[in-house]
């Protein structure tokens, strides 16, 4: 189904789909293609590849730009929980399968929110495939520093009803995750894939997959990822950080700085979690100069 004109104007890319071995279909943007190393963009929750639209447009004359929608997100399939695990292991496996299907050996990687955990977990045994890494308000290590408003959304039954029936996560993010506010078109674009109970399953499952405690099934894989982060010392890495983010606040940036001694950090003092919306000009300049 074609995107509404208002969203297509903001997101002017051809649709590409790959059929995973599981039978599920994953959507991805694939634009440009000049430089040696492509750029892979990984979104988090509750966004989709739309989050990177302006950055892709600004970089596609220099790089092949690839931005997948995780299963359950954006324009990818949204199966029931009986058809897909909706956990870090499943998302990471899907990503690695897609990258390998595209026959990309080495690439630049840009990650935001859950994209950091997914991308670095998928590559935790082969981080040398990353040419350069850009961190945008994300984490790939264990932490129980979770805002109360997100913990409430994790509550069984009540939390799921709030998130899936009343859109109580994606919709509040359109004003809580930005310090500047979104344009009407941007807000419509962020919310477009998540219009009803069934289409919001991934949003709820991402919240539930936040690993709290050793018994959580995702704790072990994220611990493995965390233990592999020392290998990033040999990979040029930039952290471009919205300092007004209530979730991935400056304390997470400090954690990255401790883990990656050679990390280049650029703080955006007036940007929130959706930093590409709040201060795109500075993001574009900083990320572009780092990659080129």
Q: How confident is the model at residue 54 (pLDDT cuts 50, 70, 90)?
A: very high
The top-level CATH class assigned to 5-291 is alpha beta
- pLDDT tens digit string along 267-281? 999 999 999 999 999
What whole-number distance in Å separates Cα of residue 94 and Cα of residue 225?
Answer: 16
Confirm if 107 and 196 have CB atoms less than 8 A apart: no
Buried b (16+ CB within 10 A) or exposed e, 128-143: ebbbbbbbbbbbbbbe
Q: Where are the domains of the chain?
A: 5-291
- pLDDT tens digit string along 186-243? 999 999 999 999 999 999 999 999 999 999 999 999 999 999 999 999 999 999 999 9
- pLDDT tens digit string along 13-22? 999 999 999 9
Q: How confident is the model at residue 123 (pLDDT cuts 50, 70, 90)?
A: very high
- Select the more confidently predicted residue: 33 or 275: 275
């Amino acid at each position: 189904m074609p995107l509404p004109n208002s969203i297509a104007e903001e997101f002017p890319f051809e649709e590409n789909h790959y059929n995973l071995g599981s039978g599920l279909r994953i959507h991805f943007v694939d634009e440009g293609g000049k430089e040696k190393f492509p750029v892979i963009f990984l979104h988090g929750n509750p966004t989709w590849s739309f989050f990177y639209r302006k950055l892709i447009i600004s970089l596609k004359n220099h790089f092949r730009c690839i931005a997948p929608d995780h299963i359950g997100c954006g324009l990818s399939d949204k199966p029931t929980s009986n058809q897909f695990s909706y956990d870090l292991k499943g998302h990471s496996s899907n990503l690695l399968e897609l990258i390998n299907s595209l026959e990309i050996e080495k690439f630049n990687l840009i990650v935001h929110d859950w994209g950091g955990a997914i991308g670095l977990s998928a590559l935790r045994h082969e981080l040398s495939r990353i040419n350069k890494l850009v961190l945008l308000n994300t984490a790939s290590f264990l932490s129980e520093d979770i805002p109360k408003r997100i913990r409430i959304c994790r509550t069984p039954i009540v939390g799921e009803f709030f998130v899936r029936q009343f859109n109580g996560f994606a919709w509040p993010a359109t004003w809580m995750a930005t310090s500047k506010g979104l344009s009407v078109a941007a807000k419509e674009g962020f919310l477009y894939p998540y219009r009803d109970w069934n289409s919001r399953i991934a949003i709820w499952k991402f919240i539930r997959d936040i690993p709290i405690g050793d018994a959580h099934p995702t704790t072990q894989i994220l611990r493995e990822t965390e233990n592999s982060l020392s290998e990033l010392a040999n990979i040029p890495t930039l952290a471009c950080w919205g300092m007004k983010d209530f979730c991935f606040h400056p304390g997470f940036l400090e954690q990255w700085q401790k883990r990656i001694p050679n990390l280049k950090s650029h703080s955006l003092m007036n940007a929130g979690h959706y930093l590409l919306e709040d201060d795109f000009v500075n993001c574009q300049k900083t990320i572009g100069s780092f990659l080129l």
